[in-house]
Amino acid sequence: GNSVTQMEGPVTLSEEAFLTINCTYTATGYPSLFWYVQYPGEGLQLLLKATKADDKGSNKGFEATYRKETTSFHLEKGSVQVSDSAVYFCALATNAGGTSYGKLTFGQGTILTVHP
């Protein structure tokens, strides 16, 4: 079955530090990969996505590259801000047809806290 593993948190950084949150996956076929962000008390927002190998998703200074050879989709940002403090979820969705098409499988989430 499909699974997603994220690095253990929480992660605490100072403003302007470099961020990496590791994500590896196991899936049948060639899934699409996603990063979602959850701010306190809110639902998940799509941060970025990549649908095939070597694609790079990017948004708001965050980037992640779909690495098929290492089955990874690590999230990076060169300079974090206090407003980036949130929970980050890596997820995948299968691209094959059938009832499971598009169903998201999530990692356990990584709490990021950025201090001024």
Which residues bind to another protein, rule: CB under 8 A? 4, 36, 41-46, 49, 89, 93, 95, 99-109
How far the first Cα of the chain sits from its last, in Å, is 41
Of 47 and 114, which has the nearer Cβ to another protein?
47
CB of 12 to another protein, least distance (A): 17
Please give the Cα distance from 41 to 8 (Å, whole number). 21
CB of 116 to another protein, least distance (A): 26
Instruction: State the SS3 of 12-65.
Output: EEECCCCEEECEEEECCCCCEEEEEEECCCCCEEEEEEECCCCCEEEECCEEEE
Of 17 and 22, which has the nearer Cβ to another protein?
22
Please give the Cα distance from 85 to 97 (Å, whole number). 36
Of 30 and 106, which has the nearer Cβ to another protein?
106
Of 66 and 89, which has the nearer Cβ to another protein?
89
CB of 78 to another protein, least distance (A): 26
